[in-house]
Structure 1
């Protein structure tokens, strides 16, 4: 109705505009003619319709005008105004649908008098008994009248209407008092009254669980199994048992379901999901390997293999998925890209990501991963251009916009273009102020760019948002130690981080560098050597090399510096350290 009303209004405006212009043109033409020639002597013959006046009803007596006004009010979410307009339209129209809409709107705004008038009008215009019972039940529940609601719901479910039980469920879901709705559900949706349709039984069981009546939900689920013995009833009853902690019972029911429909991919996925939730990843994988394979099956198998860090299984999945049907490959383009990346096949990953369609839910993620791969390949400008395009495309999606800015900033940080990284992080923080990840990233960019005061400010703000956060404590402590300022505070912060993560190489590096600043060279060397052995990170190696150099172990220091150079040939930290140690 809305589109037709709008198009009618548009046409009316066009006709009115054309008529006004035409009359104006004729008037101007007449004036010009009058200026050029004398008036005719003969009088023109009057036309039969010249003095005909067409009566146009005012808005209050025009059903179409009221419907248009009602729809416009709905577009502005003004239910009260919409209800008033539909109430007027109902009185002027003989269409039962208008009265039905008027009743629904009146109930929605809790206007009992208007709702009753609309229901009476609807009944006069020929409402079906099931429809009327549903609406009267809604009105009774809106009043909190459980007895009247029950009477109407009994009429609805006994009406024989095809979707009576679906409408029954909708009435209860929309009730203001969910506890009252739950009691009515349990009283009326009994095994004795429910129809011979398994879907209705499952829907009522699920509704009971939603209302917090788990015992009722289980009873209906078990009764559905006994009556129908279908795969879908087994699955739902299994979910009930799994929720109650009866995993063996759930597994037995799912096995029965699979026996009924051994090729049902959705069923196997549900069973595998339940097994994986129970920690039986191997069992879930074996189950999914059997039977037909679709995009969802491959995705869950890949997730299980990744969880188990099973590289062979991931490689096999990649091969199998490449040979799958075109439809499955098309739906799995993003997964294929991920699998290719896991095997360091970056060029292939880019190709798969490029095949992810714009309507695919992973389209944004595919472009984001493509930007990262391009950066890894040294195509820095292309990478940043892609991220800039993502930012433009995501202006109305704050979460995605944040991701695009953060990725751009982190790549600039990796390039040691600290000013650009700071700018990108700051833009993202405008979209999501006080976001912990963004504050942490900008703090690192400030610190690496030598803007220590700003870095300290960001890390302090982060600790206000997340008091005691280990990474923030370590970052602030390291920043202070590296700048050789407020070392007692640095010691307290890094000490707390070290107690929380005693085996973390990054924390060990911070502690070792702090000991160097404090003049404890031997302890610094021992701690940094452990961190370097745990993780070959360029900054850790540079720190260790400098401490060894200060201890006079210059041959050992040079070896560490050589290893850092192999690891990261363009390390700015190494270059600056060597200039300082070897002026």
Structure 2
């Protein structure tokens, strides 16, 4: 009988979904082909004979199963073919049966077939993988531990650590993360003690704990992994995710970079995390180190340019962004595939360079950069920059109309347009008009914490302090973890030198929610100064200014230095602040009140 009629090949045909008619044709062709073959000239040249295990009852059973499926009876087909799979032990038949169940959206039946497959072939990696995938799909987490543990045992030793490291990504979309943790903790526990898998197991368990809200346990696991293998990236990368909520996590990142200074990927991620935490000075230090170590790491140049722009260092921002564009264009010419050199990334650089030109007062150059952007997903950002250029040219109303004419596809688009228009008016110091825009927005979208917060900031500009406090307390009630609201209310009290104990409690609450954020440290330092605690105020303000050398923080730090008799140092700090933004209202008011001339 011809080779292609062996049982495994027939099962493969079944797994490919061939119809009964094709099966019959194949069998007929096989029979005809066998009859037409010429006899071998010598016994030595005879092809080996394979006896098919496809006997008449099995063929009939497969035929009936496929006919039931074609007739629209997947349940019957499933039962008939599952029985055949159990009797023959053919893995391809099990695949076919599971496929039938899944097409019929019968997950429980698919799981029954997968478990039957495991009983027939307990060492089959594919059977275990299928069982695990089905349990995940059915969200039957308590049943996951045994097959997942068996699968890890069957995984080749040199691949086991990678499989363990991949588990959190596999499970990240499942609901009820605490149940996921409970299911996987006993599976991973043995691998914590094995040298070749210890780091991966610690990191995976840490990530699962973090997602489940168990930050303390996650941090303990990361510390253990870092002490065992200080150069490992895994603990550092998970620690970066905890940077804003767990101050101790930063020490793990720093320990990794000390053990492995050339870890540019981790350093880049660290720099970006510092930037998100508003620690721009620290972020610039790390990103600059990356650009020196690996000048072709494009993301570092882009992030560095954005940070320098935010600090109002247009010259440094322009240098970094031009360095990014040169390397991105070179990579494109060389045919290198790099998403960070793609059109969307380059358009982002053009937008940033347009802002640089605005800061330098070169509105013609700003328009030229915006013209290079072309079609982009960031249409609002592009048009906002164009509106800003128009406003700086005395065409504020024209800029407003440009923003108002943008298309709206959903509520988020409408909110973004209104916020952008209010910001445009704020930049032009049109406080009342901006307040009215946000007031209308809050009537349209009630209880939106972001819109209420923005309106509260404008109420302060209009000296409506009671209204500001009312709006901020509403924000806190709606969103108790909105740290900006606690800080804004606490700072406003400190600025008016009233209810200072309450101001301090509010700002301390903000710092609990966002530890070490420079603007929050600045606010707390200012409260301490108002309360007469000059040494503590100086410590906090110096820490804030080191992390983010912002002009407003410079104004506060300079005042504390001035009243402590350190007048030359105060002037140096104020000059630095003025060099970034001479128009800053807080700095101007401070210098005028203290009668200081720079």
**TM-score, length-normalised on structure 2?**
0.47
Greater gyration radius: 1
Higher relative CO (CA 8 A, sep ≥ 6), structure 1 or 2? Answer: 2
**TM-score, length-normalised on structure 1?**
0.48
